[in-house]
Amino acid sequence: MYNKKSFEMNINELASFIDQSVLKPEFTQNDIKKYITEGIEYGCKTVCINPASIDIARELCKGTKTGICVVCDFPFGQSSTKSKVMQAEMICKDRDVEDLDVVSNYGWIKSGKWNDFEAELKAVTEVVHNFGTLLKVIFETDALNKDEIIKATEISCKVGVDFVKTSTGFFTGGTNNGAIPEIISTMIDTVKGRCKIKGAGGIRDQAAFFKLIDMGIDRMGIGYKSTPVVLGISNRVSSDVY
């Protein structure tokens, strides 16, 4: 994105890598407004929200440089293909959602149901692109092995997604490592420039944030508590799981 190292970037440039996560289901309406507003003030690329928060985000983001990223079938990805497609269409139809982050059926990935995985992803990609929205597909890499990540990435590139993404930040089936360098390196090596890469989960300090930028990542999902930390606005270490 920039022909410079992360430590050379100003806050606006660094913030352009961030989709600030405002996704916790227990958030009140006031919490949602507060953390969306903070994401806008930090200059984040987008605020990443649940579908129920679209109206709040639309009002607050209007006229700003911060866009709206909405999750689809989040966080488990276990709806039917028809349901995912319908949800994607409902989210994108007003054409003011920049990005849609859809959770793949990673149980299908683990089961080797590659034809079903591809068919579902193709159907979602087609409807999302019809509205001019960018599509990110979440693999939940902590649930997968390296070979599964590589094959899922290959299929995603074939289908034409805009981003492959590591994690939801809400994985409950094991260790929640998120966007660790080894996973990002595997995705970069597999993508070979055919689509972009978003890392999410576990990016809670500036050292991790800078390392991923310098590796060549395109976007990162950062928890609302962690955004000021990775931007260097706050020195505290965030405990946010996202």
Mean pLDDT computed over 175-199: 97
Q: Of 44-48, 86-90, 157-161, 234-238, which range is least confident?
A: 234-238
Q: How confident is the model at residue 234, as a pLDDT?
A: 72
Mean pLDDT computed over 90-94: 95
Mean pLDDT computed over 53-70: 98
Q: Which domain holds residue 133?
A: 6-230
Within 10 A of 175 (CB to CB), how many other CB atoms are there? 7
Q: Does 176 reside within a domain?
A: yes
94 in active site: no
Query: Which residue is listed with tokens 């492959």?
Result: 164
Q: How far is 103 from 37, CA to CA, in rounded Å? A: 26
Q: Does 116 reside within a domain?
A: yes
Does residue 238 surpass a pLDDT of 50?
no
The tokens describing 126, both together, are 């087609």
Q: How confident is the model at residue 237 (pLDDT cuts 50, 70, 90)?
A: very low
Taking only the tens place, the pLDDT of each residue in 8-32 is: 999 999 999 999 999 999 999 999 9
Q: Does 121 reside within a domain?
A: yes
Does residue 160 surpass a pLDDT of 80?
yes
Q: How confident is the model at residue 239, as a pLDDT?
A: 47
Mean pLDDT computed over 105-116: 98
Q: Does 240 reside within a domain?
A: no
Give the residue from 16, 9, 113, 126 showing the smallest Cα distance to 67.
16
Q: How confident is the model at residue 108, as a pLDDT?
A: 98
In the chain, at which residue ranges do the beta strands (DSSP E only) sit? 18-22, 46-49, 67-72, 99-103, 134-138, 163-165, 196-200, 219-223
Q: Does 239 reside within a domain?
A: no
Residue in 84, 165, 196, 225 annotated catalytic: 165
182, 159 contact by CB (below 8 A): no
Q: Does 235 reside within a domain?
A: no
Does residue 236 surpass a pLDDT of 80?
no
Q: What rounded mean pLDDT belongs to the chain?
A: 95
The tokens describing 72, both together, are 């689809």
Mean pLDDT computed over 198-216: 97
CATH number of domain containing 188: 3.20.20.70
116 in active site: no
Residue in 19, 101, 162, 218 annotated catalytic: 101
State whether residue 48 is helix, strand or coil: strand
101 in active site: yes
Residue in 45, 84, 196, 198 annotated catalytic: 198
Angle, helices 181-191 vs 146-159, to 10°: value is 40
Q: Does 1 reside within a domain?
A: no
Q: Does the reported pTM lie above 0.75?
A: yes
* CA distances (Å), origin 20, targets 3, 5, 15, 116, 160: 24, 22, 9, 31, 25
Count: domains in the chain: 1
Q: How confident is the model at residue 173, as a pLDDT?
A: 87
Q: Does 242 reside within a domain?
A: no
Q: Identify the bridge partners of residue 21 per DSSP, sorted by sequence position.
A: 48, 223
Angle at the Cα of 174 from the Cα atoms of 188 and 44, rounded to 5 degrees: 50
The amino acid that residue 165 corresponds to is K
More confident residue, 240 or 221: 221
Which DSSP category does 104 fall into? P
The amino acid that residue 205 corresponds to is D
